[in-house]
Every structure is written in C-alpha cells, then in structure tokens.
C-alpha cells in the first residue's frame, strides 16, 4: 500500500533551485533544496567566503500598531517591548509549563512595527497564538507575509561585501542584530544583520520579484547557493539549538541554556512565566551540552549516551562537522556530567563511539560586528 504524497509547498525561488541542480527534499511541509554542489562544499563556502540560503519557508509575521509592543511582550518570554528601534532579538514562545513552543527572532522596525520570524513547522500556530493575545481594545494588526515575500540569508565573512555591493555601502555599517528597511526595485526590503550559521551575515525579506533578483545577482557574483544540509551543519557547529530537536515543548529555556531570553524582571506576564520563575529558583537538573567525538564515526539524533554502560541521555542533534572533520552532537546531560572534559560513550547502532564534553560553540565564526549604540 502506498499513500498519496502530500502536496508540498514551494518557495517563489523553486524553479531557480531546480535550474541550479538542487536536490529537493520535503521539509516541514515544504519542498526545499537540501544541497546544490554538496553539503561540505557549501558549508566551507559559508565559513570562508559567503553563501546564500532560501529561507522563505520560515514564518514571517508583521505586527503593527500602537499596541504591537505590548501584544508581543504578552506572548513572548523576552522583553521585546524594551527593544530599541532597528534592532532584533531572539525570543521564545512558551506554554504554561514553560515548554518551548517556538523560538522566533523578533525585529523592531520602529516604535509600532515588528517582524516575527518563526520556524516553518510552527508558522501557522505561532500566528494563531500571537493572535490569541490580542485584546479588544488593543491597536495591533497581524500581517502574515509568508506567501507574499521571499526571505534570504546571506552568510559568511564576505557577506558584507556582497550585500553592500547590491544594496549600497550603508548596510556595511549595520551592527549585529541591527535591522532596517531599504528601498529596492520600487518596494521596501527588510535587511537585518542576523543569521543561523555562527557567521556574520544578513537576512533579507522582500517582494517575490526583489527576492528572485537578489538571489540571481548574488549567485552571479559568486555567492555559493546553499541548501538546508549546510544550514544544519553550520548551525550545529555554532551550537545553535534547532526547534523540534534540541528544544521543544518538553524542554525549558534554562536547561537549554536560553535563560538569557527569559525576562522575569519587567513585571510583564506571558505564558509560562510562573513555571519558569520556579525553574529559575530551583535550578535545572540537566543541561543541553556539547559533545565532540574522539573516535571515527558519526553521532546521529536519538543515539543513546552512556556513562559506564548506563544510559545518561540521548543525542538531540548529531552530525558531522566539516570544519573540525569529526562528529559533534548536543544532548541533555545531568548537570554533574555536563562539565567540560567529561568522557562519555555514544551507542551508534550498537557500536560504541567515545565522546567528550566540550565548550559551546564547537566552531566560532567571524566575530560579529558589535551592535550599533
């Protein structure tokens, strides 16, 4: 018996990916490029030069109005209402138990406008959850722009030069986490100095026409087209958590090392606040930890971790690090074992692979430009 293949959504750049010879895979309901020339080659291009990713599958929700800041503050763990204009910040959407529903990036364009970028798999739910916080007397409008726009990530030490050539020198002066809107091809183009690779870089949101033109120009200029494969190896080396793997509704921000995204001091209420205050008070029993293989082999998601033959956790993200030419992984470990230098073993389909706890991140990319004051 075979079930009919579910219809996968395609980004506005799908035909360009096919022309480029991309291998397409299903991902969170989307037909996405996993690689063009090869994951390792694309990975190195981002660490050494620059790569461009089509990340149009990500959720893009604009929130506008006098009540926009208050609305987002009431939905998220981080005090986004205190964000200066033209700046972005990582944030979490939690359930009442403090479990992580999604980990969006939130940008403040001006006093009354925000852009909320969530994971592809959670886009519809994020929108509904934020909408549920709208109060009758609140001036806040939600504009879901996932369909109408394209989102690109240009990452790597040379990203600044390529993006400045395309959009003008002022983008080079943007500090890390800065965001702005620039006129481009007769429309507004959102530009931020953010990304998910551990490298310096930019993320762009614009019209379909603008997005296609920018993709084409960057590739023509020599920026490496990169797929989800390299996006995953890059973020793993940078030890950036991936929702659905390292964090989800069964994990809390503190054990995930994301306590810095939880604001408890501004008095604002948000889902999970009470539970998270208790966790912070009591302390966590386990911690998301970085592990590096000391033998040959590849640690994968779900592999059990052993200490003296006894299971002590399981891998939430594991894979091959092209930069270190060895396998790396992340896993929740009891706090006592989460110390640098602790030696453990991973059960890789019956074969035992030694690993050691290391500092996060595995690989530090180009130092990010300090935020503009």
Partner 1 sequence: MPSPDDRRYSKEHEWLKQQGETAYIGITDYAQEQLGDVVYVDLPEAGATIAQFEKMGEIESVKAVSELFAPASGDVLMANEEVVQKPELVNSDPLGAGWLLQVKLSDPSQLDALLTAHQYDDFIAAEAKDQT
Binding of partner 1 at residue 10 (CB under 8 A)?
no
Minimum CB separation from partner 1 for residue 190, in Å?
Answer: 31
One of 17, 30, 32, 35 touching partner 1 (CB under 8 A): 35
Which member of 201, 257, 271, 297 binds partner 1 (CB under 8 A)? 297
Q: Which one of 84-92, 216-224, 295-303, 335-343 is the stretch in contact with partner 1 (CB under 8 A)?
A: 295-303
Q: How far apart are CA 145 and CA 268, in angstroms?
A: 28
Total binding residues toward partner 1, as defined by CB under 8 A: 18
Which residue's structure tokens are 């604001």?
263
Pattern 231-250, partner 1, x by CB under 8 A: --x-----------------
Beta bridge pairs of residue 358: 290
**Minimum distance between the CB of residue 125 and partner 1, rounded to whole angstroms?**
28
Does residue 300 belong to the site contacting partner 1 (CB under 8 A)? Answer: yes
Distance of alpha carbon 143 from alpha carbon 118, whole angstroms: 14
Least distance in angstroms from the C-beta of 233 to partner 1 = 6
Cα 66 to chain centroid distance, Å, stands at: 28
Alpha-carbon distance of 125 to 235, in angstroms, equals 24
Contact set for partner 1, span 303-362 (CB under 8 A): 319-320, 322, 349, 351
Which stretch of DSSP H or E encloses residue 162? helix 159-167
Q: How far is the CB of 353 from partner 1 (least distance, A)?
A: 10
The maximal CA–CA distance of the chain, rounded, in angstroms, is: 64
Q: Report CA-CA distances (Å) from 49 to 158, 225, 254, 256, 361.
A: 5, 12, 34, 31, 20
Rounded least distance, CB 230 to partner 1, Å: 9
Q: How many helices (H) and strands (E) does the chain have?
A: 8, 21
Residues that bind partner 1 (CB under 8 A): 23, 34-35, 38-41, 229, 233, 296-298, 300, 319-320, 322, 349, 351
């Amino acid at each position: 018996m075979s079930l009919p293949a579910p219809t996968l959504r395609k980004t506005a750049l799908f035909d360009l990916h096919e022309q480029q010879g991309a291998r397409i895979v299903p991902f969170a309901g989307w037909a996405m490029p996993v690689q063009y020339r090869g994951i390792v080659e694309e990975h190195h291009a981002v660490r050494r030069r620059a790569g461009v990713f089509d990340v149009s599958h990500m959720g893009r929700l604009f929130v506008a109005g006098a009540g926009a800041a208050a609305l987002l503050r009431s939905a998220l763990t981080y005090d986004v209402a205190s964000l200066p204009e033209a700046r972005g910040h990582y944030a979490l959407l939690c359930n009442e138990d403090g479990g992580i529903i999604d980990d969006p990036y939130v940008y403040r364009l001006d006093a009354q406008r925000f852009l909320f970028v969530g994971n592809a798999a959670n886009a519809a739910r994020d929108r509904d959850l934020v909408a549920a916080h709208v109060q009758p007397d609140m001036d806040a409008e939600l504009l879901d722009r996932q369909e109408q726009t394209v989102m690109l990530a240009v990452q790597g030490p040379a990203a600044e030069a390529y993006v400045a050539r395309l959009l003008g020198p002022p983008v080079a002066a943007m500090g890390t986490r800065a965001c702005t809107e620039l006129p481009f091809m007769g429309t507004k183009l959102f530009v931020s100095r953010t990304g998910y690779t551990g490298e310096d870089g930019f993320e762009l949101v614009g019209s379909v026409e603008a997005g296609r033109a920018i993709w084409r120009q960057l590739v023509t200029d020599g920026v490496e087209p990169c797929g989800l494969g390299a996006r995953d190896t890059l973020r793993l080396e940078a030890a950036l958590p991936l929702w659905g793997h390292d964090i989800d509704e069964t994990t809390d921000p503190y054990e995930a090392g994301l306590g810095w995204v939880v604001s408890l001091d501004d008095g604002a209420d948000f889902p999970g606040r009470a539970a998270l205050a208790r966790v912070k008070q009591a302390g966590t029993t386990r911690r998301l930890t970085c592990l590096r293989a000391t033998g040959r082999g590849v640690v994968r998601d779900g592999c059990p971790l052993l200490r003296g033959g006894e299971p002590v956790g399981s891998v939430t993200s594991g894979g091959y690090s092209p930069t270190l030419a060895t396998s790396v992984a992340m896993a929740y470990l009891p706090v006592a074992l989460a110390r640098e230098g602790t030696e453990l073993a991973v059960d890789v389909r019956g074969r035992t692979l030694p690993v050691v706890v290391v500092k996060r991140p595995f690989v530090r990319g180009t130092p990010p430009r300090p935020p503009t004051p």
